[in-house]
A = this chain, B = another copy of it.
Amino acid sequence: MSDIDIPEDHPRYESLLTRHRIEDGVDKGITSRQGLIAQGRGETFDYLLGERTIPSAAAAERAAAAYLLLAEHPVLSVNGNVAALVPGELVELAEATGADLEVNLFNRTEARMQAIVDHLREHGADEVKGLTADGRIPGLSHERAKVDSDGIGDADVVLVPLEDGDRAEALAAMGKVELVVDLNPMSRSAQSATVPIVDNIVRAVPNITRHARELATASREELQRIVDEFDRDEALAAAEQAIREGGED
């Protein structure tokens, strides 16, 4: 899904691609200043993790795929950095799991909403929710609370990558199964998740899609077993240990 010509075996392929996509996101009005700073915060956590998917994150990604396949109405929430970094990969995940895509911004402006919707459509998305904004998440201030009532408002399982802590907690309080991608295992978003995925989003989303495709013919019993066997507290502790000590192989 790269738009630039970087050979995939380049040692800094992932890093160069990420940097290019973020820059492109700024040019298109998708990535905000706060998004650039947030990108940097994530880069340090990823650096300390060794820029790899640790085993506990791989288990979380498989559990997330199982949750999305078991869901009645799964929704993938998309903010500016997510749209900039993995637009095509999100469209593939939505297709592999039958999930809706919904744009949700912490700093919501109509221009940024529309730019992100357009960007996702350029990368193959059909329907993109988020512009209707006729639903509200209880406990959040007006602009932050907006969702589509037939999107996140109605979802039983929501993937919320790189999400603000307040909103992650408010979604969890609504009783939704929350799948969070966040490189900081100590963040409120990761701590409030049903499935915290402590991995770089450019690795996490394709990994979840791969698991979803592998599990496409699995029985509900098998999917439920994968979900039941995932231990979120163990995963958070393993991720923190990997960051703090460089460990967990």
Interface of A toward B, CB cutoff 8 Å: 22-23, 26, 33, 36-45, 47-48, 184, 243-246
- Contact partner of A39 (CB less than 8 A), chosen from B40, B42, B184, is B40
Secondary structure type dominating chain A contacts: helix
CA distance A231 to B109 in the complex (A): 52
Q: List residues of chain B with CB within 8 A of the CB of A45.
A: 44
Q: How far is the CA of A231 from the CA of B37 in the complex (A)?
A: 33
Residues on the B chain within 8 Å of A42, using CB = 40, 44
**Residues of chain B with a CB closer than 8 A to A48's CB:** 48, 243-244
CA distance in complex: A5, B246 (Å): 41
- Measured between alpha carbons, how far is A104 from B94 in the docked complex, in Å? 47
CB of B41 within 8 A of CB of A22, answer no
Chain B residues within 8 Å of A37, by CB: 22, 36-37, 39-40, 43
Q: Chain B residues with Cβ under 8 A from A44's Cβ?
A: 40-45, 184
Contact of A40 among B23, B40, B243, B245 (CB under 8 A): B40
Contacts of A39 in B (CB 8 A): 37, 40
9 pairs, A vs B, C-beta closer than 8 Å = A23-B33, A33-B36, A36-B36, A36-B37, A38-B40, A41-B44, A44-B44, A48-B48, A244-B244
Q: In the complex, what residue of chain B is closest to A31 when comparing beta carbons?
A: B33
Given contacts A22-B37, A40-B43, A244-B246, 15 further A-B contacts (CB under 8 A): A23-B33, A26-B33, A36-B36, A36-B40, A37-B39, A37-B40, A38-B40, A39-B40, A40-B42, A41-B47, A44-B44, A44-B45, A44-B184, A48-B243, A245-B245
Q: How far is the CB of A131 from chain B (nearest CB, A)?
A: 28
| A190 to B: closest C-beta gap in Å | 14
Least CB distance, A141 to chain B, in whole angstroms: 18
Give A246's nearest chain B residue, CB to CB: B244
Q: How far is the CB of A2 from chain B (nearest CB, A)?
A: 20
7 smallest A-B Cβ distances: which pairs?
A40-B40, A44-B44, A36-B36, A37-B40, A40-B41, A41-B44, A244-B244
A81 to chain B minimum Cβ distance, whole angstroms, is 11
User: Which residues of B lie under 8 Å from residue A26 when comparing CB positions?
Assistant: 33
